[in-house]
Structure 1
Amino acid sequence: MSGLIKLLPDVVINQIAAGEVIQRPSSVVKELMDNALDSGASEISLKVSQAGKEMILIQDNGCGMSPVDARMAFERHATSKISNSEDLYKIQTMGFRGEALASIAAVARVELKTKRPEDEVGTRILIQDSKLIKQEACACLNGTQIQVSDLFYSVPARKKFLKTDSVELRHIHDEFVAHALSHPEIKMSLVQNETEMYLCRPETLKQRIATLFGKKYLEPLIEIQQDTEIVKIKGFLGNVELVRKSRGEQFLYINHRLVKSNYLNHAIQSAYEEVLSIEGYPFYILFLEIDPANIDINVHPTKHEIKINDERLVYNFTKVAIKQVLGRQILAPQLDFENAQPGLEKIFNTSGFKSKTSSSGISYESSDSVGSKTHWKNLAFPSASREEINDRENLVFQTESKDLSRPEENVLFQVDEPLDIKQLYSTYIFYATKEGIYIVDQQNAHERIMYEAFLNSMVDRPVESRNLLFPQTVHLPRNKSLVLKSILQELNNMGLVIEEFGSDSFVVQAVPLLLKEEVDVEEYVQQILEQFSQFQEVKLSMHEQVARSLSKSGSLKRGKELSIYEMQSLIKQLLQCTHPDISPTGKKCIYSIRTDELHKIFK
């Protein structure tokens, strides 16, 4: 039977192409901001409504378009940036494929207004389902304004798979930040639902980092600039203070284009690990300049992937350059000529109290009369008798032998019933009963215990808190501060009492009583926000997401030594949980071998 193969209509072709180019609202933002940068704009504003699902509006003051060019811009593979195949190997612009506007117009309602400086009036175009609805003259500012409404209205299946507003807004934020960092000389702004999230004025890269991430990022920054015949490297590296538990603050640009290269990212990560022996993901913003003839951008429609000639050479240059800079700035010895007593100053605790660690590794606060700076100076430069000095030394250097089998004041867990129990590798709890042998992962088990406690918290029955001796102020980047504000009530109900203190600053008043260990409060809050961002990708209620984030960030870690009573209580609380066998993220908490199974092994 003939005639089975047919040419698809243009509308269907455009929708298929849109499936590769436009995957979510942030894809629209990326393509339109790329076009704004290519237009030579010095100002770009981005406005979104309902995380871009309802409306995305981008306006620039670039070169604008003529009426003919404005209409041609919506045709597939129509572009002003290349004209032949040779141009593909010397691309200097962000866009070049001529697919973006045609793909957007296939899945949304688009209104374009544009005007060149030499024109008296501008052009207004309405397009829907890849069809021109209206084209007319209009009054508008120089440059181009594009409004995209009702994204994926014609593709319900794609719209169904969009995430929550908070997740989609985070992806839009990531695209905006990536573009804002790549061109700090351009004024950029982001407004979400009439709320201004960012206003970036023309500035240096270092100032732009402070605008986007906060002034606290300035001090840990290390500038890098290396020139070779193969690649030129410049930008900023973060020191150990900016190492995070999850990805998200790593920006690698090649010829000012943000790229995803596992190979080059591995070079950067390896340099950090070899110099600093870190565990986590460092902060960096790196710009690599490579001859366009030595790279291929035409790999994927999103243009995030790239192929490089002599990729191994670029890898080695990048790694060596970063290792040299980190070695000079961080590992170089620093002499303090102002400190007359460097040994004593390291011992002084200027905060007024010191953290003392028990034999089980649990920190607790001791009196400032023991470790204060004043007390140490009295020992170094005494005005008292020798007997009084001996008494003070005994107070400072007193040692106590503690029996782990006895409960202490600040133990993590307590029970009254003894078990035949041991700890293996400071990670696993091993115990035996008549029924069999059990091995418990202490971190996963504690996550389960904390999760169910947080999950059961309500407004009228919040989790108990422990007030901090000194409330701590936490400063956050704008995107993280907005996330924190959205979950403040949930956090307060779960025992983490935080109050707003300015636009992007917060004061932590208390932490959950379940956190028996002393924690770095700012790091704790940062981890909660990172975990919360990850859990947003999973369809859970806000209450469940916050409970997971708190339990994951504050749980007992592997490598922590526990006393007998702490291990006994941990097991008792775990067995009282609704689901004691798995952690909130699906990891195994307890592994058992029944007695009869054990006997079979040796028969």
Structure 2
Amino acid sequence: MADIIQLLPDHVANQIAAGEVVQRPASVVKELLENAIDAGADTIKLIIKDAGKTLVQVIDNGKGMSPTDARLSFERHATSKIKSAEDLFQLHTKGFRGEALASIAAIAHVELKTKQASNDVGNALVIEGSQVVSQDVVVTPTGTSVAVKNLFFNIPARRNFLKSDTVELRHVVDEFYRVALAHPSISFVMYNNGSESFNLPISNYRQRIVNIFGNKTNEKLVPVDEDTEVLNVSGFVGKPEFAKKSRGEQYFFVNDRFIKSAYLNHAIASAFEGLLKPGMHASYFLNLQVDPQSIDINIHPTKTEIKFDDEHTLYAILRAAVKHSLGQFNIAPVLDFERDPNLDTPYNYKETVISTPKVEVDRSFNPFKDASQPSVTSTQRSSHTSSFSRQEGHKSSSDWEGLYVGLESKSNESVVDFSEVEFESEEETLSIFNGDHQVEQTHTTYQLHKKYIVSTIKSGMLIIDQFRAHQRVLYEEFLRNMTSREGVSQQLLFPLQLHFSPQDIDIVNQLKADLEHTGFVFSNVDEELVEITGVPVNVPESEVSIILEQLISDVEHEVPDSNFSATDLLAKSMAKSLAIKTGQSLQKDEQEHLVNKLFACKDPNVSPANRVTFVTMSVDELDKKFI
């Protein structure tokens, strides 16, 4: 029988490896930026065209490569960082596997220009699909320039799986953020389709965060700093009042390398326990410095997941450090045992000798004494009594009946016949308790656990999910307004100012026209500021920022493909943000109104996310439950 196992050709093996390393243009950006950092560059330029599908170019002023190294860098498992297996546990650099450039060259057109400072001229290398096309001497600045063109040109199936330019560009920007935040000592510049998107100068960590996410971010940050034998934590966390519904601004860096860790993220969430509303997520930008021997980076192709030797200790230290910072800067509530300063003794009385107060009592006072006779012991009372006696013409106690002379005749004149008194509210008050005039009301809906609306139908029972049903109602209403451009706006007394990052502002500009059709009125959209003077009628002012944040998050992560409709996504996002949430109590008329509006929709059976809005249970099904 013939042998059936054979070695794969190098170009096929490289394409298979590329499937692990290069998933989208953002993966190329990550690998090239990390190589530039390893080269010791302090200025790095990133050039993007068509969200990286056409061009991804990284230019650095690092130490460059010799002609031999330039050629070997595109071979599989060729690296200058590792010489033995023990070096895997002493990693202080980014790229160490030697697979990135070989994988990229297998699925794209790559042009490399590099020059060392000691050489007068550099070297240029052109590779297409793992095949070296040319290698020449060129004049180029010191450093390295890598241009990756036509990604996945020889794997059309992979290219078809790429998302729209908006989504792919967002992934590229995310990778740019992660590398730039981890290295504030390096200057980064990013160009997108010929225009400058970011220009980040060398700065400290706080200033780098502000340069990326906008000037308004500065007031949201709380510093975190804790040094222990096991872990050194530094960075910032966001104040609870600026928490968002999305997890966008959450960054962990371990030894200047971005990682994802649900376990450590739970430690941050635990530190914020009791400070955040349900469903809100705090921002954080934390650098963790640990011993390289205590972590294993080589467990994931993209190196975004790390295995720690002692996760429980790191969890406790991280949670305590964040909690300490929140308490130290008066973010977290604390028990205050300070006394009220108003109760303190004034300075003028501190040296005063304490004296017992004297109480004077008029022991000769007799309340039953004749009022006409003055008191001997109290001159004040005697004068008051004598004046009273003079006003009454010195009447004695025997003349007390004279005080009531004439009162009887006056009282007879003012007698009122209460049988003739009419009260305006008499009939209304009696009608409440009068059973003859009561209208018998029958309620056909009931709310169950503040989540479902139960209603009776001819065949049995109808159970409606109030959140999904209201989503469907609002979705069709917003869609109708945007299509007919008849959104009704409610003017605000004071303009509402919202701050976003430059990338978020770009998304707002893309959706501005559709938002205006729903009823939003924008007076100004700046680089970091959005000013709103009008909102749709059924949108509360307090919900505007939440709606826009949710909308931006949906556009960034949930855009399906090139057939995507901005109007449809906008209607879905706004409906999801404004719909009645689970746990909200509804009155009887509100329940009935929601049921009527749902069944007036074109498609009441499913929510905008294609989930069932109601279920029915017939009488026969109920009868079977009692068998």
Helix, strand or coil: the match of 2:219?
A: coil
Q: Are residue 487 (structure 1) and residue 488 (structure 2) matched? A: no
- Listed one character per residue, the Cα deviations across residues 242-262 of structure 1 (whole Å, up to 9, x for unaligned) are 322122211011101011122
Give the structure 2 partner of residue 180 of structure 1.
180
The separation in 2 between residues aligned to 1:230 and 1:188, in whole angstroms, is 32
Q: Deviation string for 1:436-469 (max 9, x for gaps)?
A: 2222222211111111122234454333222223
Question: Alignment partner of 1:467: what SS?
Answer: strand
What amino acid maps onto 2:605 in structure 1?
D
Say which is worse superposed, 435-444 or 223-232, in terms of deviation: 435-444
Shift of the 289–274 alpha-carbon distance from structure 1 to 2, 3 Å rule, reads: farther
Give identity over the alignment, percent. 42
Output aligned runs, 1:135-174, within 5 Å. 135-174=135-174
How does 1:81-100 map onto structure 2 within 5 Å? 81-100=81-100
TM-fit CA distance, 1:542: 2.1
Q: What is the TM-score when the length of structure 1 is the normalising length?
A: 0.83
Match of residue 369 from structure 1: none
Q: How much does 1:560 deviate?
A: 2.5
SS of equivalent to 2:474: helix
CA positional deviation for 1:518: 4.5
- Distance, in Å, in 1 between the alignment partners of 2:142 and 2:241 is 44
Q: Which amino acid aligns with 1:6?
A: Q
Alignment-derived partner of residue 456 in structure 1: 480
Q: Which runs of 5+ in 2 are unaligned?
A: 343-440
Partner residue of 1:442?
A: 466
Per the TM alignment, residue 510 of structure 1 is displaced from its structure 2 partner at its CA by: 2.2
Distance 1:193 1:436 in 2: 61
Closer/same/farther in 2, CA of residues 208 and 556 from structure 1, 3 Å limit: same
Q: Which residue of 1 aligns with 2:10?
A: 10
Deviation at 1:295, TM superposition (A): 1.1
Q: Which range moved further: 69-78 or 456-465?
A: 456-465
Q: Which amino acid is 2:527 matched to?
A: S
CA-CA distance at 1:537 after TM superposition = 4.5
Q: Say if 2:577 is the partner of 1:536.
A: no
**Hey, what's the Cα distance between the residues in 2 that align with 1:340 and 1:323?**
29
The number of residues matched between the two structures is: 525
Distance 1:92 1:513, change over 3 A: same
Q: Which whole-Å deviations, capped at 9, do the CAs of 1:52-102 have from their partners, x for residues lacking one?
A: 001111111111111111111111111111222121110000110011100
TM-score between the two structures when normalised by the length of structure 2: 0.80
| 1:581 counterpart residue number | 605
CA distance in 2, matches of 1:333, 1:312: 27
Structure 1: gaps of 5 or more residues: 342-416
2:327 and 2:334 in contact (8 A); partners too: no
SS at match of 1:273: coil
2:578 maps to what in 1?
A: 554
Query: Cα–Cα, structure 1 residues 442 and 274, in superposed 2: closer, same or farther, change >3 Å?
Result: same
- SS of equivalent residue, structure 2 residue 198: strand
Contact conserved, 1:105 with 1:128, CA < 8 A, in 2?
A: yes
Distance 1:553 1:42 in 2: 44
Which shows bigger deviation, 152-161 or 323-332?
A: 323-332
Distance 2:587 2:265 in 1: 42
Post-superposition CA distance 1:507-542 (Å, at most 9, x none): 223222343x45332233212212332321476322
Secondary structure class of the residue paired with 2:285: strand
1:171-570 to 2 correspondences below 5 Å: 171-273=171-273, 279-329=279-329, 330-332=331-333, 420-458=444-482, 460-515=484-539, 517-537=540-560, 540-570=564-594
Q: Which amino acid aligns with 2:579?
A: S
Change (3 A) 1:260 1:454: same
Change over 3 Å in CA distance of 1:582–1:207 after alignment to 2: same
Q: 1:157 to 1:418 in 2, by over 3 A?
A: farther
What amino acid maps onto 2:81 in structure 1?
K
Q: Is the 8 A contact 1:237 1:284 kept in 2?
A: yes
CA distance in 2, matches of 1:557, 1:458: 24
Cross-structure match for 1:365: none
- Which residue does 1:80 correspond to in 2? 80
State the distance in 1 between where 2:138 and 2:296 align: 40
Q: Is the Cα–Cα contact under 8 Å of residues 275 and 323 in structure 1 kept in the other structure?
A: no
Once residues 172 and 462 of structure 1 are traced to their aligned partners in structure 2, the CA distance between those partners, rounded to angstroms, is 37
Q: Distance in 1 between matches of 2:156 and 2:173?
A: 24
Query: Amino acid of the residue matched to residue 520 of structure 1?
Result: E
Partner of 1:43: 43
In 1, Cα distance between equivalents of 2:334 and 2:59: 50
State which drifts further: 535-544 or 2-11: 535-544
Q: Structure 1 residues 503, 297: closer, same or farther in 2, change over 3 A?
A: same
Deviation at 1:275, TM superposition (A): 6.1
| 1:565 partner letter | D
Q: Single out whichever of 527-536 and 81-90 deviates more from structure 2.
A: 527-536
Taking the aligned partners of 1:290 and 1:114, their CA distance within structure 2 comes to 34
SS at match of 1:450: helix
SS at match of 1:320: helix
What is the distance in 2 between the residues matched to 1:419 and 1:496?
37
Shift of 1:210: 1.0
Q: Cα 1:272–1:278, aligned 2, differ >3 Å: closer, same or farther? A: farther
- 8 Å contact from structure 2 (residues 11, 130) kept in 1: yes
Question: Does 1:121 pair with 2:121?
Answer: yes
Deviation at 1:333, TM superposition (A): 5.2
Q: Distance in 1 between matches of 2:177 and 2:234?
A: 18
Larger CA deviation: 311-320 vs 61-70: 311-320
Q: Which residue of 2 aligns with 1:595?
A: 619
Residue 68, structure 1, aligned to residue 68, structure 2: yes
Secondary structure of 2:153's aligned partner: coil
Q: 1:566-602 CA distances to partner (integer Å, 9 max, x unpaired)? A: 2222111111112212211233322222233323433
Contact 2:485 2:518 survives alignment (8 Å): no
Alpha-carbon separation, structure 2, partners of 1:601 and 1:334: 54
Code of the residue aligned with 2:610 in structure 1: it is G
Aligned CA RMSD, in angstroms, stands at: 2.3
- Aligned partner of 1:572 in structure 2 is 596
Aligned equivalents of 1:159, 1:128: Cα separation in 2: 16
Deviates more, 1:159-168 or 1:256-265: 256-265
SS at match of 1:96: coil
Structure 2 Cα separation of the partners of residues 334 and 527 of structure 1: 35
**Does the CA contact (< 8 Å) of 2:214 and 2:500 recur in 1?**
yes
SS of 1:571's partner is helix
Deviates more, 1:235-244 or 1:33-42: 235-244
Kept in 1, the 8 Å contact 2:55–2:149? The answer is yes
Helix, strand or coil at the partner of 1:219: helix
Alignment-derived partner of residue 364 in structure 1? none
1:274 is displaced (CA, Å) by 5.7
Task: Tell me the distance in 2 between the aligned counterparts of 1:3 and 1:600.
Answer: 64
The structure having more radius of gyration, on CA atoms, is: 2
Q: 2:267·2:318 contact (CA, 8 Å) conserved in 1?
A: yes
Q: Which amino acid aligns with 1:508?
A: I
- 1:39 Cα deviation (Å)? 0.8
State whether residues 272 and 278 of structure 1, in contact with CA within 8 Å, keep that contact through their aligned partners in structure 2: no
